[in-house]
Structure 1
Amino acid sequence: MPEQSAFDRAIATHESGPHTRTGEFTDDWLIGHAVNGGVALAMAGSALAAELGGTGHPDPFVISAYYLAASSPGPVTVHTETVRTGRQVATGEVSLWQDGPEGEPVQKVRALATYGSLDSLPDDVRTAAEPPPMPGPEDCTKALDAPAEAIRGVNILHQLDLRIDPATAGWAVGRPSGRGQLRGWLRMPDGREPDPYLLLMAVDAMPPVAFDLGVTGWAPTVELTAHVRARPAPGWLQIVTSSRNLAGGFLEEDADVWDSTGRLVAQARQLARVPG
């Protein structure tokens, strides 16, 4: 039996009671002191799939998550609930909890999601969304090759093969473009191929787009809504993140993800808080 991938271990949960599962975050997926929001979203999405799996709706179509507090390394308790089941989709709710400083339960993430079957969707595609022209992965900058001060404490980068289009990497050497866009390629270094749960992580895998606006520091996610549009083909994922508005200490960040065939497979928008 093949060894489980690092990502699958990171988001794994196990049934511990009615509508309750347990998992664990490790420090491998930290950005600073907090677990990456996309990893938390993928754990929530995977746990909810276990709740809704018997309904015939195995795949996340859309999930909207509110990040109530930063997730940290350690045990996680996941509560799931089936809200409604229909013929084409099912809706569920999921929340992640961890112990606080005094041992009290603290809700870290709460999400509402709709699931269905990606394999049952019609194969018509009518879109104006196309992946932007950019160098191939071999000609892009490995995120781990950024200056040490730019990636200090970003443990998650050691778990990803993330490559940034040099045209959008000026922020790493103190020359942000101010356009508010980052472009890159993503795959897992252990060969794990993309699936809907990896897409939930991928929409939050890029460095904060605020970096290209000249704002550095941790940009915690307040809310993130991800749409999974299709089951991704094997191979590299192409990711573009952008922002049109930073105001009042908050910015929106949009993410588009294409698979190796050039099909748009995921979209997301999040609201993030930026350093003052």
Structure 2
Amino acid sequence: MTTDHPFRDLTTLTATGEGAWSAHIAPTWTIGPKVHGGCMLAVSASAARRAGIEAGADPAVQPLAVSASFVSAPDPGDVEITTVVRKLGKQVSVVETELGQDGRVAVRASVTLGLPDGGEPRYAVPHPATELAARPPEDAVVVTPAHPMGQIVNLCGSVDMRVDESTAGFLRGDREGDPRIAMWTKLRPADEADLDTVALFALMAGDISAPVTMNRGMFGWAPTVQLTAYLRALPEPGWLRLTNESIVLGQAWFESDHTVVDTTGAVVVQSRQLAMIPR
């Protein structure tokens, strides 16, 4: 079934009991056969926000920080989310979530709710992501379901994705490139019309890049073990530009840092994850 607001559908929840919710993850939200980690983080954050607001938090709160541990890799389909409000405060609330499928836990997360930053920062160090063009240039690689990358990264069927080819040596067969990838992504127009959907998508974008290990000739599944994402500000509508980079590719583990910037040049999401080197 097609829809003009696929990401809103992904993060839409149905209440199933006190502190309990269900969601449906369509096959498009996968990498290969398994559900994309950033999508599960977004669903978990959506449930935490709902639980916080129902407990009395300001309806304008957003998930400022999501720290998720990945326990198992679910298949696309229905998932269940349970929530526990650990703190309800005037500025900060904390909700714990557990996302599972068929009785098996997939993701445990701690979500900090609050109001995102607004206005000009007091101090900011320019990041390479802010130097990318606000819109993808003509020579950016368009990732579609027909593209070799799109045949694995099924997300491209529901969001727009463009890759800076100069940072994606794996597309040319390069095995000695730097572990850094730059790209652009954008929601469908109907999804962009909903502010809460935009915020959740920005968090998901903190995990949207292909693994940087591919630039070193290491292909295959690079499972995320732990992912923490910060929503620094609500993004303006339009393209998000981002970089994904690592400074240490170990024998078994590597870190992966996303920095996500909106059309105004504001840093809207920062994330770091610990992942496994592909076998």
TM-score normalized with structure 1 length:
0.90
Q: Which stretches in structure 1 are left out of the alignment for 5+ residues?
A: 100-104
Q: Which stretches in structure 2 are left out of the alignment for 5+ residues?
A: none
Mapped to 1, the partners of 2:25 and 2:220 lie a distance apart of 22
| 1:206 CA drift (Å) | 1.2
Say yes or no: does 1:221 pair with 2:254. no
Say yes or no: does 1:21 pair with 2:28. no
Contact 1:29 1:155 in 2 (8 A): yes
Mapped to 2, the partners of 1:166 and 1:221 lie a distance apart of 24
Q: 2:73 aligns with which of 64, 70, 74?
A: 70
Residue range with higher mean Cα deviation, 227-236 or 54-63: 54-63
Mapped to 2, the partners of 1:79 and 1:237 lie a distance apart of 31
Matches within 5 A, 1:69-88: 69-88=72-91
Report Cα offsets for 1:225-266 as digits up to 9, x if no partner: 001100111111011000011113211000000000000011
| 1:4 CA drift (Å) | 6.3
**Counterparts in 2 of 1:177 and 1:151: CA distance versus 1, 3 Å:** farther
Partner of residue 127, structure 1: 124
Partner of residue 102, structure 1: none
Amino acid at match of 2:45: G
Contact 2:48 2:83 in 1 (8 A): yes
Find runs of 4+ consecutive structure 1 residues off by over 6 angstroms: none
Mapped to 2, the partners of 1:174 and 1:144 lie a distance apart of 19
Partner of residue 57, structure 2: 55
Mapped to 1, the partners of 2:122 and 2:165 lie a distance apart of 31
Query: SS in structure 1 opposite 2:108?
Result: strand
Q: 1:252 aligns with which of 255, 260, 273?
A: 255
Mapped to 1, the partners of 2:147 and 2:19 lie a distance apart of 45
Amino acid at match of 2:124: T
Identity %: 32
Partner of residue 105, structure 2: 107
Mapped to 2, the partners of 1:114 and 1:81 lie a distance apart of 12
Query: SS in structure 2 opposite 1:51?
Result: helix
Residue range with higher mean Cα deviation, 239-248 or 50-59: 50-59
| 1:209 CA drift (Å) | 1.3
Mapped to 2, the partners of 1:5 and 1:145 lie a distance apart of 18
Mapped to 1, the partners of 2:257 and 2:33 lie a distance apart of 24
Mapped to 2, the partners of 1:265 and 1:26 lie a distance apart of 26
**Counterparts in 2 of 1:245 and 1:142: CA distance versus 1, 3 Å:** same
Contact 1:134 1:165 in 2 (8 A): no
Aligned length: 267
Report Cα offsets for 1:96-118 as digits up to 9, x if no partner: 0101xxxxx10000000111112
Amino acid at match of 1:107: V
| 1:152 CA drift (Å) | 2.8
Query: SS in structure 2 opposite 1:66?
Result: strand
Residue range with higher mean Cα deviation, 168-177 or 246-255: 168-177
Q: Output the aligned Cα RMSD.
A: 2.0
Report Cα offsets for 1:184-227 as digits up to 9, x if no partner: 11102445327220111111111111111221111111100001
TM-score normalized with structure 2 length:
0.89
Partner of residue 180, structure 1: 179
Contact 1:49 1:58 in 2 (8 A): yes
Contact 1:168 1:177 in 2 (8 A): no
Mapped to 1, the partners of 2:171 and 2:44 lie a distance apart of 32
**Counterparts in 2 of 1:63 and 1:50: CA distance versus 1, 3 Å:** same
Amino acid at match of 2:111: A
